[in-house]
Structure 1
């Protein structure tokens, strides 16, 4: 009998992952960020049959005592709690160290002390920086091009150090750019969709030439579950990516085509990263995930990308969902 603790369960990917694990029959404890509103983040919008089966723990990943308390009785831990916005990491880098590095330390230290069977720690493609070669495999050099990416490099190495030092059963999942329903408007795809859905045909973006390897959230969730279930993943870093590269500009054009809008893009200076901080190219090699886990993206080619965008647009254009976004305000 597995009991799974998911940190960051209230967030975009975490809420989708939580729901899927409940549907598959797992006993799930959802670690949500404590707040005085008693909000469970996106889990508040989950179907009642999902919420009724959840064991919700509210706390703060930076608190070692709370993390250990949340982990008691759990066999598996999926660590998704993190600060992720790159622009905000320019503004408040110390908070990224506290949350991403020290938070990860709290997770692996508690897992070691409690004898947890498996820790899946969440990395990011941003740790690679601008591609030195493509497609990017797990041996690609790590480059901290923002305080965010530097903190995630540190968090990854902290998690791996516990595997190497204490045999803590740690796996590192490294998703490339995930998109889908519920994603924050600080990410580019929701930024584009929410502006167009609000009636604009001229939208504000940052750089449109960088390329990304976008992954629909359903594929990312299956990647997490595959890593969690595989003994072969222990001690490994595994990319979860589509092996499909597309520019931000082309992505905006595809979205506009689906939504039937004649699009004009304006460059918004405040949305541009510092020159040496911009990651110009990301393109995932996913061979290791296929061979080690048997995982393959279902939305991984051009047609799949369009299908994922259509599902995402359908969610965002629901007035109830769109009302939760401030399309006319830049969200760092």
Structure 2
């Protein structure tokens, strides 16, 4: 595929945080996008509704569900590439509803793989997560790090990864797996730590309610994540197909230090109140994640274009817009 050719890219999970940014990136690169939005009776297209008309003119929105094979087949038919981002992602909710995670993240992925296989789609980009590694045993984390799933969410994502690997090995399905580390930026839900902190500060709070402040994370700005998806979706097959790639910065910061940095950038003197409801079970907490993205850089030339502070400033600007802040319930704990 070439960014100068009007190819068709199908995206599952297109209405979500990363998915909507990826749709923007693909359109900017010259693709037409067929975007699956999970069927709902509110006729809501999620974050796609906030995109400019110049973007939406190149997007066909399809209501469906990755748990339904027919929906997936209709979405991917005739596509030049499929980007599979649809997933249940909130770790705390996976403790409450693990069956839902298996149905979406494992069976949904199976449906996508089957459709891509039988319709002979030239490229499938499957989305993994750094949570499949669990707490770092060696640092930085390469793609050869052991898989150690410490939550039902992580286990369901690892299941999808193994299916993707097996389809490439068994059927030569042209799949590449991208494993982003902790993506952040505008449009992210309040179940993640950065919008939780920034959203509370933007709403006027100076005592921030959080869980454990000790874990460290490798935070990747969402536009860099979208660029990584687009890169592995268009790179020559011999460079990427059948491989798994980390996408991260190689840096890390603790949640506690992150709060301090956000306070500095927002000119706010912050204190933290611990909420035990936000703390994961001890054996389930992933204490340290930091990426080694050498494989992705060497295969494609991709590298992050934004520093943590630059990304935070863009995110702060987003949440300080009253129209954007009004979309969030900053006073509620989002599971």
Q: TM-score, normalised by structure 1?
A: 0.98
Aligned positions of 1:83-98 closer than 5 A: 83-98=88-103
For 1:43 and 1:202, the matched residues in 2 are separated by: 33
1:311 aligned to 309, 314, 319, which one? Answer: 314
SS at match of 2:176: strand
Aligned positions of 1:227-242 closer than 5 A: 227-230=232-235, 231=237, 232-242=239-249
> Where does residue 263 of structure 2 map in the other structure?
256
- 1:36 Cα offset (Å): 1.1
Residues 1:51 and 2:76 aligned together: no
Number of residue pairs matched by the alignment: 328
Cα root mean square deviation, aligned: 0.7
Residues 1:269 and 2:276 aligned together: yes
2:326 aligned to 323, 326, 329, which one? Answer: 323
> Where does residue 243 of structure 1 map in the other structure?
250
Asked whether the equivalents of residues 67 and 103 of structure 2 are also in contact (C-alpha less than 8 Å), the reply is yes
Aligned positions of 1:142-181 closer than 5 A: 142-181=147-186
For 1:286 and 1:51, the matched residues in 2 are separated by: 32
> Where does residue 292 of structure 1 map in the other structure?
299
For 2:321 and 2:79, the matched residues in 1 are separated by: 37
Gaps of 5+ in 2: 1-5
For 1:111 and 1:200, the matched residues in 2 are separated by: 47
For 1:312 and 1:127, the matched residues in 2 are separated by: 26
2:21 aligned to 5, 16, 22, which one? Answer: 16
Q: TM-score, normalised by structure 2?
A: 0.97
For 1:251 and 1:144, the matched residues in 2 are separated by: 25
For 2:208 and 2:57, the matched residues in 1 are separated by: 41
- 1:69 Cα offset (Å): 1.1
For 1:66 and 1:281, the matched residues in 2 are separated by: 38
- 1:2 Cα offset (Å): 2.0
2:190 aligned to 182, 185, 189, which one? Answer: 185
Asked whether the equivalents of residues 25 and 230 of structure 2 are also in contact (C-alpha less than 8 Å), the reply is no
> Where does residue 81 of structure 1 map in the other structure?
86
For 1:161 and 1:81, the matched residues in 2 are separated by: 20
SS at match of 2:18: helix
For 2:290 and 2:250, the matched residues in 1 are separated by: 6
Asked whether the equivalents of residues 66 and 111 of structure 2 are also in contact (C-alpha less than 8 Å), the reply is yes
Gaps of 5+ in 1: none
> Where does residue 131 of structure 1 map in the other structure?
136
Question: CA deviation digits over 1:213-241, x for unaligned, max 9?
Answer: 00000110110011111221100000000
> Where does residue 281 of structure 1 map in the other structure?
288
- 1:94 Cα offset (Å): 0.3
For 2:107 and 2:189, the matched residues in 1 are separated by: 24
Question: CA deviation digits over 1:88-129, x for unaligned, max 9?
Answer: 000100000000000000001000000000000000000000
SS at match of 1:331: coil
- After superposing on structure 2, the runs of 4+ consecutive aligned residues of structure 1 that deviate more than 3 Å are none
Question: CA deviation digits over 1:26-72, x for unaligned, max 9?
Answer: 01100111111211110001101111221111100100111011111
